[in-house]
């Protein structure tokens, strides 16, 4: 009976250890993470290009 009310049984976790509560990220989280990372990298490389324009 007690097992039923254990929060760890209600969602999948990434690490199989009782003391760690890292949830498995869903598709929206994974796709969004890489999209946002891509946009951040684009901005970074844009500024690098801008700097090279003034240097060369």
Minimum Å gap between C-beta 24 and another protein is 10
Site for another protein in 24-43 (CB under 8 A): 25, 28-29, 32-34, 36-37, 39-40, 43
Q: Give the list of residues 6+ apart from residue 3 with CB closer than 8 angstroms, or none.
A: 9
CB 20, CB 13: distance < 8 Å: yes
What is the residue whose two structure tokens read 């929060």? 7
DSSP for residue 15: S
What does the binding site for another protein look like in residue numbers (CB under 8 A)?
1-2, 4-8, 10-11, 18-23, 25, 28-29, 32-34, 36-37, 39-40, 43-44, 46-48, 50-55
């Amino acid at each position: 009976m007690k097992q039923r009310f254990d929060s760890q049984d209600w969602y999948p976790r990434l690490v199989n250890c009782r003391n760690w509560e890292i949830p498995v990220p869903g598709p929206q989280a994974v796709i969004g993470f890489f999209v946002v990372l891509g946009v951040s990298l684009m901005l970074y490389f844009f500024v690098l290009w801008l700097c090279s324009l003034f240097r060369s």
